[in-house]
Amino acid sequence: MTSTDTRPSPHFGWSLPQPVLSLWTLAVPLAAVWLFSSVASRISPSASIDLGYALATLVIVVAMWTFIGNSGVLSFGHIAFVAVGAWTMSLLTISPTVKSSIMPNLAPFLAETTLDPYLALLIAAAVGGLTAVISGFALMRLHGLEAGIATFALLMLVVQVLTYWSAIGPKSGQSMTGVPRSFDLQSTLLIALIVIVIAWGYGQSVSARMLRASRESVQAAPASGISITRHRIIAFAVSGALAGVGGAVWAQTNRVVQASQFGLDFTFTTIAMLVIGGMLSLWGAVVGTLLISAMNHVLGLLENGMQIGGVIVSLPSGSRLVIVAAFMVLIIIFRPSGITGGREARWPFRQRDPYLTGAITAVGEAKKR
Amino acid sequence: MIPVIQSLIDATSAGAVYALAALGIGLVFGVLRLANFANGEIITGAGYALVLLWPLSWPLALAASVVVAVGLSLLMDLAVFRWMRSQSPAALLIASFGVSILLQRAFEGIFGVNVRTGAVAPALTKSVNIGGLRLSLLAVVAIVLAAVLLLGVHLFLTRSRMGLQVQAAAADFREARILGIRSGAVIAVTLGMSGLLAAAVAFVLTAQSGSVNPTFGVQVTVFGLIGAVIGGLNRIGGALIGGFAVGFSLSLFTTWLPAGLGDFRVAFVYLLVIIVLVIVPNGIFAGRTAKERA
């Protein structure tokens, strides 16, 4: 039966060409991040400090989305690339005199070099990406839960090496101090926006589309000639490089870098942000990070004691993570695909699909008869 | 020769502890498809019970550790995991990660961030000398305890009616349910067993170190989980052997790595894990069943 229904659709809307619609999925996250930053930087000095961390975390979570969201494979290992990025940034920007005092056993070429922070940022991306490619060849052949837990082994391996290898860092487990602050909030924001654009651009690529096909069916995708392993390694590399950038930005924000910082708590916080926002969409990664960062800021104020209507409210320290964890568990139970439902930001004035609407009216009329 | 035997005994005892942890995780995974990260906090809870109550009365401490472990195990299922039975193993793993962090902070709030110390089973710290071989009593107890528990679990799973139901549920939960297996009881029994195993792990670890902190159970759980994966998560025996292998190699690395590399012993274990997974992606004893084809 062919439909001859030519009545105008009952829903108002402007239909836009597809490229514009897909640009919209980029524009909304960018605008949200920009708006969030400009509001947060005006509230209070402490809010702008937290904003720096929020933007660094945003880069990391978007990097994680690039792999987890597109491939559907859980990774607990991304903080390893973050650690590598932070390490690269610190080693390349701390002044040689400071380096010689806190890292006496440093390899000579690292001990003497000091680079421009933006160059160091690019190198951090390269090192993160390279680590991801090398480990990807081993890890990306795994599926499902095994892959998740194996990436976890990667994290532990990297953290152990960074803790104890004194040729590339301080003596066992000590911290690297004196990372010069060269990125102000503006440039951090710019880096975060660029990372979002790159992640989105990757998401539009053929490779990412094939990877998403394999996410939907591990059986059908290879049957259609898609090499899952290959596209997973590509995604892992892109996401490792972006995570390296995240680590470098984080090192610039925190200015003290220590291997033990890149552990379970960091992994958990970032995964929670991704899960809460909705791990299948870039928009979800952005929403989750901004929401949890804002929540963390408010809870941090409450931990220090805050006056609300004549009563001083104060939370025990450490309750931040408890609340984030509880929130995440509730989200997983009641809205497993996250706040955004794993969808990208959609054009709000879209026209309903005429075929779909036609079908619905047809069914409705058939029922009336 | 003697140092070799010595290190093998130490490694066996370490392996036994990790095997118990991996078995607890593997049992629960088999039935619920839940790779329970929060197993570590069950161990920590039992550890606190042992360390804090042992000076008062040791039978009380032992009983309390089992009650706490089984209680926590059942409680977290009741509060969280039973509401997400239909979700993917990955979602369950993330949720258990959340529960783990939540409980760690709860322990911090209740018992403080600092280490709580207390001599648990101080009689076991003695060691006997047999022909130049220093045999720590605790190592022997750990091996015996593990052997007894493993035998017990094995007999239960293969000889009792309930155990067979647990095995059936682990093979195919939905089909087992259709065939009339009481799923609630099976799940409760499985969780109870994993709690008991966690309490045993806590006993050996607290007797070794005499101290507990909020992240006490994390390391053994991470190794247990990884051991279960390299053994094959969908085979209970595989998980057991994988856990043993991880503990065994960790102990051997600790003893035999040259001084400069000694710090990297944990790194070597993880490297080994990755190598094993590259060779056998589904785990050593996984068989040919593909898990994702659900």
User: Mean pLDDT over all residues of chain B?
Assistant: 87
First to last CA, chain A: 18
Mean pLDDT value across residues A242-264: 93
Is there a contact between B98 and A143 if contact means CB atoms under 8 Å apart? no
The reply to whether A132 falls in a domain is: yes
CB < 8 Å to A264, chain B = 101, 218
Q: Say which range, A70-84, A228-242, B250-264, has the weakest mean pLDDT.
A: B250-264
Of A162, A72, A116, A122, the closest CA to residue A242 belongs to A122
DSSP state letter for B262: G
Q: How far apart are CA B227 and CA B235, in angstroms?
A: 12
Give the closest-approach CA distance of B122 to chain A in angstroms: 32
Contacts with B243 (C-beta within 8 Å, 6 or more apart), sequence order: B15, B18, B19, B20, B21, B22, B23, B25, B26, B223, B224, B227, B228, B231
Provide the number of structural domains found in chain A: 1
pLDDT 10s digits, A284-330: 999 999 999 999 999 888 887 777 766 777 777 777 888 888 999 99
The reply to whether A11 falls in a domain is: no
Give the pLDDT band (50/70/90) at residue B5. confident
Please give the pLDDT value at position B148: 93
CB < 8 Å to A138, chain B = 274-275, 277-278
Please give the pLDDT value at position A39: 93
**CB burial of residue A348 (10 Å; 0-12, 13-18, 19+):** exposed
| CB of A188 closer than 8 Å to CB of A196 | no
Please give the pLDDT value at position A192: 96
Is there a contact between B270 and A160 if contact means CB atoms under 8 Å apart? yes
CB < 8 Å to A149, chain B = 35, 225-226, 229
Please give the model's pTM, rounded to 2 decimal places.
Answer: 0.89
Percent of chain A with pLDDT over 90: 48
Nearest to A321 among B95, B105, B277 (CB): B105
The reply to whether A295 falls in a domain is: yes
The reply to whether B290 falls in a domain is: no
Contacts with A94 (C-beta within 8 Å, 6 or more apart), sequence order: A114, A176, A178, A179, A180
Q: What is the bridge-based pairing of β-strands A306-308 and A311-313?
A: antiparallel
CB < 8 Å to B78, chain A = none
The reply to whether B204 falls in a domain is: yes
Mean pLDDT value across residues A346-361: 65
Q: What is the 3-state secondary structure (H, E, C) of A322-366?
A: HHHHHHHHHHHHHCCCCCCCCCCCCCCCCCCCHHHHHHHHHHHHH
Mutate which of A332, A334, A335, A337 to test chain B, going by most B C-beta atoms within 10 A?
A: A332
DSSP state letter for A316: P
CB < 8 Å to A69, chain B = none
The reply to whether B127 falls in a domain is: no
The reply to whether A34 falls in a domain is: yes
Closest residue on chain A to B290 (Cα) = A143
Closest residue on chain A to B283 (Cα) = A146
Give the closest-approach CA distance of B277 to chain A in angstroms: 8
Nearest to A138 among B94, B222, B274 (CB): B274
Domain holding A220, by residue range, is 18-368
pLDDT 10s digits, B95-107: 999 999 999 989 9
Residue B290 main-chain phi, psi, to 5 deg: -90, 125
Q: How far apart are CA B276 and CA A131, in angstroms?
A: 19
Q: How many CA atoms lie within 13 A of A98 on its CB side?
A: 15
Given its phi and psi angles, is residue A316 left (phi above 0), alpha (psi -120 to 50 degrees) or beta? beta
Give the closest-approach CA distance of B123 to chain A in angstroms: 34
Q: What is the bridge-based pairing of β-strands B116-117 and B211-212?
A: antiparallel
Q: Where are the alpha helices (DSSP H) in B160-235?
A: 161-171, 173-178, 183-209, 218-231
Mean pLDDT value across residues A189-215: 95
| CB of A88 closer than 8 Å to CB of A120 | yes
The reply to whether B223 falls in a domain is: yes
Closest residue on chain A to B99 (Cα) = A325
Query: Per-residue pLDDT for A128 more than 90?
Result: yes
Please give the pLDDT value at position A169: 83
Mutate which of B96, B97, B218, B285 to test chain A, going by most A C-beta atoms within 10 A?
A: B97
| CB of A41 closer than 8 Å to CB of A188 | no
The reply to whether A278 falls in a domain is: yes
Burial A190-206 (b: 16+ CB within 10 A, else e): ebbbebbebbbebbeee
Q: How many CA atoms lie within 13 A of B214 on its CB side?
A: 16
The reply to whether A230 falls in a domain is: yes
The reply to whether B294 falls in a domain is: no
pLDDT 10s digits, B149-203: 989 988 998 899 998 988 888 878 888 888 888 888 899 999 999 999 999 999 9
Domain holding B100, by residue range, is 2-115+133-279
Q: What is the bridge-based pairing of β-strands B116-117 and A311-313?
A: unpaired
The reply to whether B155 falls in a domain is: yes
Q: Say which range, A1-10, A126-135, A324-333, has the weakest mean pLDDT.
A: A1-10
Give the pLDDT band (50/70/90) at residue B113. confident
Q: Could you tell me the CA-to-CA distances from B61 to B2, B70, B122, B199, B203 in Å, in that order?
A: 37, 14, 14, 11, 10
Nearest to B95 among A161, A318, A332 (CB): A332
Q: Say which range, A146-150, A154-158, B140-144, has the weakest mean pLDDT.
A: A146-150
CB < 8 Å to B283, chain A = 146
Amino acid at B159: R
Please give the pLDDT value at position B292: 44
Is there a contact between A160 and B264 if contact means CB atoms under 8 Å apart? yes
Give the pLDDT band (50/70/90) at residue A4. low
The reply to whether B211 falls in a domain is: yes
The reply to whether A4 falls in a domain is: no
Beta bridge partner(s), residue A335: none
| CB of B236 closer than 8 Å to CB of B27 | yes
The reply to whether A31 falls in a domain is: yes
For residue B176, the tally of other CB atoms under 10 A from its CB is 20
Of A35, A11, A15, the closest CA to residue A347 belongs to A15
pLDDT 10s digits, B196-249: 999 999 999 999 888 999 999 998 999 998 888 888 877 778 888 999 999 999
Evaluated on CA atoms A87, A88, A94, A95, the torsion sign reads positive
| CB of A314 closer than 8 Å to CB of A308 | no
Closest residue on chain B to A315 (Cα) = B109
Give the closest-approach CA distance of B172 to chain A in angstroms: 18
The reply to whether B232 falls in a domain is: yes
Q: How far apart are CA B190 and CA B164, in angstroms?
A: 12
Please give the pLDDT value at position A81: 96
Is there a contact between A268 and B292 if contact means CB atoms under 8 Å apart? no
CB < 8 Å to B84, chain A = 332-333, 336
| CB of B58 closer than 8 Å to CB of B121 | yes
| CB of B123 closer than 8 Å to CB of B141 | no
Contacts with B45 (C-beta within 8 Å, 6 or more apart), sequence order: B68, B69, B72, B103, B107, B202
CATH of the domain at B70: 1.10.3470
Give the closest-approach CA distance of B292 to chain A in angstroms: 7
Provide the number of structural domains found in chain B: 1
Q: How far apart are CA B7 and CA B13, in angstroms?
A: 10
Tokens of A151: 């990436």
Query: Per-residue pLDDT for A1 more than 50?
Result: no
Mean pLDDT value across residues A262-277: 92
Is there a contact between B267 and A157 if contact means CB atoms under 8 Å apart? yes
CATH of the domain at A166: 1.10.3470
